[in-house]
Amino acid sequence: MTDQTSLGYWIRRFLLEYAASERNLSPNTCASYRDMLVLLLPFVAAAKRTAVDKLLVTDLSADVVRAFLKHLEHDRSCGTATRNQRLASLRALARFVGAHSPQHLEWCAQIRLVPIKKGIAASVSYLEKPEIDALLAAPDPSTSQGTRDHALLLFLYNAGARVSEAVSLRIGDIDWHNKSVRIIGKGNKERRCPLWAETIGRLRHLASDRSADARLFLNRRGEPLTRYGVHTMVERYVARIGASTASPQVKRISPHVIRHTTATHLLQAGVDLNTIRAWLGHVSINTTSIYAETDLATKKRALATLDRGASAQKAGGWSRKPDVMAFLRTL
């Protein structure tokens, strides 16, 4: 008979039955749950002075969870966002156990009462036009690797795609005739983005005569490119252009910064926020609104429309138009 007081029993059910089967969560989400548990279980075992396989559900108390979160911040130098993300994974585990084991309802409630920590929202970093142009020009087009890297960087900037979306892109997702791409984003949500003619040309060269089911971006061994590989590639070119461009030496540039750059440049071009939301695959427009708060150029244009001197000269002041009701009736 299975021991339902064992923490390992519920972890196996949580990962295999709940995350992978019932919820059909993305591989990245399942990997996030796994990574949290890989850090958590040895910590709890050390605190309880027992083997990982002998841990009970109740060994994972709210106090132990708080100590684990403090360990992440102080000993592993994790930020508040990472700390909260680990806690969210723990809460998901607690909800699953509580839903299937009435004897653990009180334990579940205690775990879920551990609060999310409020942090300082970091400003969104993006590249100015000369900076993104320098990054796109960094790969050597005379080599096969440089050709792939330029196509990948161009695609990331054109589509505003996440790294996970780019590395999972298949040749069949490209609509060569209509110059667009089908992207499967978070939560298996599908969206389509238009592509520049230059982007289509670069991607067509990469696709060659391969099948529609094949991954578009491959490494030197002919295997699908990984997220780590894309991060390394971007860091390599940032280091290369660092000597000639001042900003990349100060800014921390990652593939996600290119995504922020796409959104900011769309906003500066006058594209409305709802279109940018659909372009990036955001569920809520509140997520997209951070770019309106960050873009200084847009704020300056808005400020120019509120030129107090020009407005006062044009309106003539309220003292010259005392009849407010008459004014309102003309509107």
- Any idea which residues carry the catalytic annotation? 162, 186, 256, 259, 282, 291
What H or E segment, with its residue span, contains residue 174? Answer: strand 174-175
* Burial tier of 203 (Cβ tally within 10 Å: 0-12, 13-18, 19+): buried
How far apart CA 52 and CA 34 sit, in angstroms, is 15
User: Is the sign of the CA dihedral 259, 262, 266, 269 positive or negative?
Assistant: positive
How far apart CA 216 and CA 261 sit, in angstroms, is 23
In contact, 104 and 125? CB cutoff 8 Å: no
Bridge partners of 191? 183
Q: Which two tokens stand for residue 148?
A: 């792939």
How far apart CA 202 and CA 211 sit, in angstroms, is 17
- Of 143, 139, 172, 221, the C-alpha closest to 152 is 139
Q: Which two tokens stand for residue 179?
A: 């110059």
Residues 6+ apart with CB under 8 A from 190: 182, 183, 184
**3-state secondary structure at position 184:** strand
In contact, 225 and 217? CB cutoff 8 Å: yes
DSSP codes, 191-212? EEEE--HHHHHHHHHHHTT--T
Count the helices and strands in the chain (H runs, E runs): 18, 3
